[in-house]
Structure formats: structure tokens, C-alpha cells
């Protein structure tokens, strides 16, 4: 494949109106499929009647910006007027772009996403109670991230955090596992126990994520630190550095990150999702072992009730 082209997700095709789209001939030649400004016919989009389409790499940044704008507007509309499934889908698309798209665009656009969610969580009780419970099984990393984001916003609104603080935590939640994008998918897409070598490699998603976020120059160091330290534990048993002085934001995202698979997806030790109470019971044992702060755990429990 020519390096100058990037595939477009079929589900997002209608968002690329202002960009030329290409397909590849049998001889692997890029050919123009539609011009800038043209829109594919709706029926064609609905039935996915088009070949694999691509944009030029040079259009990626502008396209990502346009995508975020459309997706944020769509999120705003769904948060205030539609049911949970469309909200979940809107968040799925946003998180996917945040994990796979250019970080300089995410840096500009994600704070707006969190503002919209913050408003939604402040006003919509159903959102608070149910959004994270809707997870599907399509893309585990994206679903996991949407759940972490939802639970984080739930925590922020329940405890009356300021919008500015919620913005930092919301963006941190979206980016906490961005380092996983650089790992083979089988390392983060499985419920089965990883081998020792695999687990060692998996652990590098923390440092990889940290360096990616810092190198982008688009986020504050505290957001990168959450990516680095969300698997650290207060008793020193965590990774990558076994540190015991863990910044508060990283502790919170770390706690939610441990709760999420237990409650929604199951783990290698607890194959099926546990009931919320049982998940909290499992986490409580980790609090007793000294891995998480007792106060933080209590605060988290209270926002779930
Ligand atoms: Fe992680
Ligand atoms: Fe995670």
C-alpha cells in the first residue's frame, strides 16, 4: 500500500464530504473515487456500497479536525436529546479518533468533548446511572476507554468537581491506555492470562503512552503522568516503576481502571462480569492490601450508589 494514503472507516464515510476519497485499482494504483465537496449517495452509505476508501495522508490533520467538529456537535445533540445507545456510539467514535488520530488535533478538540459530557452528566441522571453499563464487545480497547471515561465523569459530577478539573480527568481517562495502540492487539484484546513475556511487553503501554503524550506537546504533563502511573499501586506492587507516591489523578484513574473490567467485561481471574457489589468487594480486598487509598475507594463507591 502506498504510504501516502490512510484508510477511512466505513462507518465514518459520510463525515468526509470536504475531502477527496480514493480507492486502489487491482494494480494498486490510487484512483479518485469522489471529489472534494461531493457527498456519497445516502443509500450507498447505508448499504456500504463502496470499495475500501482512503484519504491522502496530507489531509489527515484537517480531516481529523473536521471529524471532531462533527462528532462533538453530534455528541452535544445526542447528550441532550437522545437515548443512551446513540450517546455511546458518539463516544465510541470520538474515543477511537482520540486513540488513533493525530494528537495535536485531539489536544485542541478533546477539551470541548469533555465540556459537553460534563454538561450532560450534570443534567442527565440516566447518563450518570447507565452509560458505562452499555458496553458492547466490538473493540475492547475503545469500549474499555469509553467505560473509564463514563465512570470518571460520574465521579467528577457526583463529587462536584469543577469543569476545569473534570476536563483534565476526562482527557486523562481517554488517553490513559493510548500506549496500547503501539502493542500487538492480542496483548490488550484478550481475557486469557498473558505469558510472563507478554505481560512484560504489555506493561510498556504505560511508558509508551507517557512518551507519546509528552512528545505531542498538546497536553499538560499531569495527563501524561496518568498514562504512566495508572498501574502503580501505593504498596509499591504496581508498574512500571513500583512507585508508592502516586499522583491523585493517576490513583483515581487506576482505581476505575481496576473496577471497569471486573464489573463490565470479566478478567482472566473472574471470567464473567461481576455484580457491582462483588466487584467492589474484590477491590476492597486490594484496598486492605494497601494498593489503593481507603478514602478514594469510599469516594468511588459513593458515586456508584
Ligand atoms: Fe492500562
Ligand atoms: Fe486501562
Residue 68 in any domain: the answer is no
- Return d(Cα 66, Cα 62) in angstroms, integer: 6
CATH code assigned at 230 = 1.10.3210.10
The secondary structure of residue 239, as a DSSP letter, is S
Residue 137 in any domain: the answer is yes
225 CA to centre of ligand 2 in angstroms: 14
174 CA to centre of ligand 2 in angstroms: 9
144 CA to centre of ligand 2 in angstroms: 7
Cα-flanking dihedrals φ and ψ of residue 111, to 5°?
Answer: -55, -35
88 CA to centre of ligand 2 in angstroms: 18
Residue 77 in any domain: the answer is no
83 CA to centre of ligand 1 in angstroms: 29
176 CA to centre of ligand 1 in angstroms: 6
| Number of domains, the chain | 2
Residue 76 in any domain: the answer is no
Say which ligand is closest to the CA of 149: 2
Say which ligand is closest to the CA of 238: 1
Q: In this predicted structure, what is the pLDDT of residue 2?
A: 47
Say which ligand is closest to the CA of 141: 2
Do residues 90 and 216 share a domain? yes
Say which ligand is closest to the CA of 239: 1
257 CA to centre of ligand 2 in angstroms: 5
Say which ligand is closest to the CA of 261: 2
129 CA to centre of ligand 1 in angstroms: 24
Q: In this predicted structure, what is the pLDDT of residue 265?
A: 66
**CA angle in degrees (0–180, nearest 5) for 233-305-258:** 25
Work out whether strand 54-56 and strand 5-7 pair parallel, antiparallel, or are unpaired: antiparallel
Judged by phi (left if over 0) then psi (alpha if -120 to 50, else beta), residue 136 lies in: beta
Radius of gyration of the chain from Cα atoms? 20
- Which grid cell sits at 31? 484512483
205 CA to centre of ligand 1 in angstroms: 7
Segments of the chain with pLDDT less than 50: 1-2, 136-137
84 CA to centre of ligand 1 in angstroms: 26
Residue 233 in any domain: the answer is yes
Q: In this predicted structure, what is the pLDDT of residue 47?
A: 72
Do residues 16 and 117 share a domain? no
- Which grid cell sits at 67? 471529524
Do residues 157 and 51 share a domain? no
142 CA to centre of ligand 2 in angstroms: 10
The CA-atom distances, in angstroms, between 179 and each of 29, 97, 117, 280 are 33, 14, 24, 27
Judged by phi (left if over 0) then psi (alpha if -120 to 50, else beta), residue 25 lies in: beta
Start-end of H helices in the chain: 42-46, 60-81, 84-100, 103-123, 125-130, 140-158, 163-175, 196-203, 205-216, 221-229, 248-260, 276-288, 294-304
Residue 279 in any domain: the answer is yes
CB 113 within 8 A of CB 79: no
The CA-atom distances, in angstroms, between 14 and each of 8, 27, 66, 71 are 10, 27, 12, 12
Residue 94 in any domain: the answer is yes
Closest CA to 221 of 264, 260, 272, 172: 172
- Return d(Cα 93, Cα 146) in angstroms, integer: 10
145 CA to centre of ligand 2 in angstroms: 7
Q: In this predicted structure, what is the pLDDT of residue 137?
A: 44
- Return d(Cα 197, Cα 194) in angstroms, integer: 8
170 CA to centre of ligand 1 in angstroms: 15
Q: In this predicted structure, what is the pLDDT of residue 1?
A: 47
Do residues 189 and 279 share a domain? yes
Do residues 130 and 14 share a domain? no
Do residues 93 and 197 share a domain? yes
Residue 297 in any domain: the answer is yes
**By residue range, what is the domain housing residue 136?**
83-304
Closest CA to 66 of 103, 105, 124: 105
Amino acid at each position: 500500500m502506498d504510504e501516502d494514503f490512510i484508510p477511512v472507516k466505513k462507518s465514518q464515510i459520510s463525515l468526509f464530504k470536504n475531502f477527496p476519497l480514493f480507492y486502489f485499482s487491482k494494480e494498486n494504483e490510487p484512483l479518485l473515487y469522489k471529489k472534494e465537496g461531493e457527498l456519497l449517495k445516502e443509500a450507498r452509505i447505508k448499504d456500504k456500497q463502496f470499495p475500501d476508501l482512503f484519504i491522502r495522508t496530507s489531509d489527515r490533520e484537517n480531516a481529523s479536525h473536521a471529524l471532531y467538529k462533527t462528532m462533538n456537535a453530534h455528541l452535544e445533540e445526542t447528550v441532550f436529546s437522545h437515548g443512551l445507545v446513540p450517546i455511546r456510539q458518539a463516544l465510541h467514535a470520538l474515543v477511537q479518533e482520540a486513540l488513533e488520530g493525530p494528537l495535536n488535533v485531539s489536544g485542541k478538540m478533546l477539551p470541548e468533548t469533555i465540556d459537553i459530557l460534563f454538561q450532560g452528566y450534570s443534567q442527565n441522571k440516566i447518563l450518570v446511572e447507565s452509560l458505562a453499563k452499555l458496553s458492547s464487545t466490538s473493540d475492547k480497547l475503545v469500549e474499555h476507554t469509553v467505560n473509564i471515561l463514563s465512570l470518571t465523569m460520574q465521579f467528577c459530577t457526583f463529587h462536584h468537581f469543577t469543569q476545569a478539573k473534570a476536563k483534565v480527568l476526562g482527557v486523562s481517562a481517554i488517553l490513559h491506555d493510548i500506549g496500547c495502540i503501539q502493542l500487538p492487539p492480542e496483548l490488550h484484546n484478550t481475557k486469557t492470562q498473558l505469558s510472563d513475556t507478554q505481560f512484560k511487553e504489555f506493561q510498556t503501554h504505560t511508558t509508551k503512552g507517557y512518551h507519546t503524550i509528552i512528545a505531542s506537546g498538546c497536553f499538560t504533563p499531569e495527563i501524561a503522568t496518568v498514562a504512566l502511573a495508572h498501574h502503580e499501586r501505593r504498596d509499591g506492587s504496581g508498574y512500571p516503576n513500583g512507585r508508592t507516591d502516586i499522583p491523585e489523578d493517576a490513583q483515581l484513574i487506576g482505581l476505575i481502571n481496576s473496577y471497569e473490567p471486573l464489573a463490565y467485561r470479566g478478567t482472566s481471574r473472574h471470567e464473567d462480569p461481576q455484580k457491582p457489589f462483588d466487584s467492589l468487594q474484590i477491590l476492597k480486598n486490594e484496598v486492605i492490601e494497601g494498593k489503593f487509598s481507603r478514602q478514594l475507594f469510599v469516594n468511588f463507591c459513593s458515586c456508584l450508589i
